[in-house]
Amino acid sequence: MSAPVILQKRAVDVAALARLSAVGHSPLMARLYAARGIQMPDALSIELTHLHAPDQLEGTLAAGALLADAIAAGRRILVVGDYDCDGATGVAVGVLGLRAMGAQVDYLVPNRFDHGYGLSPEIVDLAREHPRLGCPDLLVTVDNGISSLEGVAHARACGIEVLVTDHHLPGSELPQATVLVNPNVRDSRFPSRHLAGVGVMFYVLLALRAELRRRGRFADRAEPQLAELLDLVALGTVADVVRLDANNRRLVAAGLKRLRNGRARPGILALLQAAGRDPRRAVASDLGFAIGPRINAAGRLSDITLGVECLLADSLEAAAHMAQTLDTMNRERREIEADMSESALTEVGQPDPQQRTLVAFGEGWHQGVIGLVASRLKERFGRPTLALARDDREPDLLKGSGRSIEGVHLRDAIDLADRYAPGALVRFGGHAMAAGLTLRAGHLAAFTDALETAVRTLADPACFDRAVLTDGPLDPGELSLNTLADIEQQVWGSGFPEPLFADHFEVRAQRLIKARHLKLELRLGTRAVSAIMFGRTDPLPPRALLAYQLQRDDWQGRNGISLRVIHQGQVTAQP
């Protein structure tokens, strides 16, 4: 049986609610915003004119000058990315933006299985023999580089300058790059530290354009329209699950607007088509759950280059074939993930309720899918989780990927565990909610204990309560397309969660679909509504407290709404 969770209603700041209502927000939307910490109406502005200025991000002015010098001198620039969606979009933004400003530019992305993460000395050597560009004069990292001390040093020793653009948390030592741009370096004053890697690259391009404008480059030619890259910025930002603060929401909103108006990159449109999504109704979750996984599938199972090429495609026709291949890869990834998740659940069994962490390892597990398994276990058991697979090239090493919960900073926990179990880790990196590591296989037990101790040391025990915050009930009349349309106008995601409502429903009928999902017919007051609860196989009681989201019901030409039930709550917990 699936255990009910405790549903708690979000607190609403009454003064903020009044201010938001006074400027015309509906009572429901004002309540949703106030419950997410919005104090003043201007925090909801999605106008790009309200973006934080590029010169506020340390290093961007120097980066703009470095790139402008390279363009003027005809130097060869190579963008080095990461093998996930943030990295792929960042590479595409870098290549397209630099190319539009006259640069001689190409890209290189490490293979997860052959090269590992980041700008390693091995990647530098590959870059020196790039098949299309030749040996570059300048390397530009995207979504990596902050921990690439050896790789940056090797590049500089080879006479290659390095511009590091990254958003991951730095270690105690920074790479000796020519220029470094990262909103998370110590003493950074940039107001939005939550930029994704693609967002950092976009800011560097803004600074470059301003520098070229200052130098008079656009006196006789049109300025590149960097806004044309915002659909890619939105995709990478949402897919990397960074916190959607006001600055990130503006970037994502602008990208979604391009999508809905039919002005997105052909590759993004082709991927939406492969996923069966209508770009005219695109929302942030389409980026995160439809496009992102298809691009990530290439990096997880093979080589992310296919995803980058799809995003760089100049026509829908050219992108369509690649999108279909990525879709096929994603289906294969799902099958592998399902098998590994089942294996992981068997290994974990029923964890001790007092245990704060989970660490799962399976012989034969696919190295590219362990992050997804960690995510599944984290969602199931509500605690920080690491999943590990044996390194394909070095069997004495384990590759690990971790996912965390709110209130537990995973990278900091791994850093502390590294001190508790010296010699266990070869390398690690990441941020609050996700991290990766390489572990010596013989130290698995010691590191497992060290991680448990570290999390107990750092985290408030309240983080582990299986409580879910909701936005309380909706009136039966608010179960409508109008309500859904209002919600869809906003950008929701990490740190600004999509509305989750809760109420007691009468369960009128229920049946299984494909032996995996529970199809429901519910009643709220006099209102009947259909619903689905994915991944639930055991029946609900005749009356149940349910947490749900609204979704469109277009089945067989219907034009209505249904509910996606996320949780069954404990009956004693009033929403």
What pLDDT, on the 0 to 100 scale, is given for residue 558? 74
Contact 476, 517 (CB under 8 A): no
Residue 135 dihedral angles phi and psi, to the nearest 5°: -70, 125
C-alpha dihedral (404, 11, 561, 491), degrees to nearest 10: -60
pLDDT for residue 418:
97
* CA of residue 245 relative to chain centroid, distance: 13
Average pLDDT of the segment spanning 237-260: 96
Write down the pLDDT at residue 573. 40
**Cβ contacts of 90 within 8 Å, gap of 6 or more:** 81, 82, 142, 143, 165, 196, 197, 198, 200, 201, 236
How many whole angstroms from its chain centre is CA 395? 30
pLDDT tens figures, 192-222: 999 999 999 999 999 999 999 999 999 999 9
Measured CA to CA, the distance from residue 423 to residue 408 in angstroms comes to 23
Lookup: tokens for 187: 């003493």
State the DSSP code for 290. Answer: I
Distance CA 258, CA 179 (A): 32
Strands lying side by side in the sheet with 397-403? 358-361, 385-390, 397-403, 434-440, 425-430
Pairing of strands 397-403, 385-390: antiparallel
**What are the tens digits of pLDDT across the range 443-459?**
999 999 999 999 999 99
Tell whether the model's pLDDT for residue 469 goes beyond 80.
Answer: yes
Report pLDDT digits (tens) over 317-369.
999 999 999 999 999 999 999 999 999 999 999 999 899 999 999 999 999 99
Model confidence at 273: pLDDT above 70: yes
Q: In this predicted structure, which of 1-10, 135-144, 271-280, 371-380 has the lowest mean pLDDT?
A: 1-10
Contacts 24+ apart (CB under 8 A), 538-542: 538/1, 538/2, 539/510, 540/507, 540/510, 540/568, 541/507, 542/506, 542/507
Host H or E run for residue 513: strand 501-513
Q: What is the pLDDT of residue 575?
A: 39
**Alpha-carbon distance 529 to 558, whole Å?**
13
CB atoms within 10 A of CB 187: 5
Phi/psi at 563 (nearest 5 deg)?
Answer: -110, 140
Backbone angles phi, psi at 45, to 5 degrees: -65, 135
- Tell me the C-alpha distance between 169 and 144, whole Å: 10
Per-chain mean pLDDT for the chain: 94
Cα–Cα distance for residue pair 384/458, rounded to 1 Å:
12
Going by the DSSP 8-state scheme, the letter that residue 44 receives in this structure is G
Amino acid identity of 84?
D
DSSP state letters, 434-497: EEEEEEEGGGHHHHHHHHHHHHHHHS-GGGGS-EEEE-----GGGSSHHHHHHHHTS--BTTBP
Residues 67, 1: Cα–Cα separation, whole Å:
59
pLDDT at residue number 529: 96
Count the helices and strands in the chain (H runs, E runs): 18, 17
Determine how many CB atoms are found less than 10 A away from the CB of residue 324. Answer: 16
Residue 488 has pLDDT above 80, yes or no: yes
> pLDDT class for 113, splitting at 50, 70, 90?
confident
- Nearest CA to 468 out of 1, 54, 7, 105 is that of 7
Counting every residue written for the chain, the total comes to 575
pLDDT at residue 532 above 90? yes
Q: What are phi and psi of 107, to 5 degrees?
A: -140, 165
pLDDT band at 2 (very low <50, low <70, confident <90, very high): low
Percent of the chain with pLDDT over 90: 89
| Res. 144 pLDDT band, cuts 50 70 90 | very high
**Closest C-alpha to 308, from 141, 91, 468:** 91
pLDDT value of position 572: 45
Residue 574 has pLDDT above 90, yes or no: no
CA dist., res. 544 & res. 536, Å (int): 14
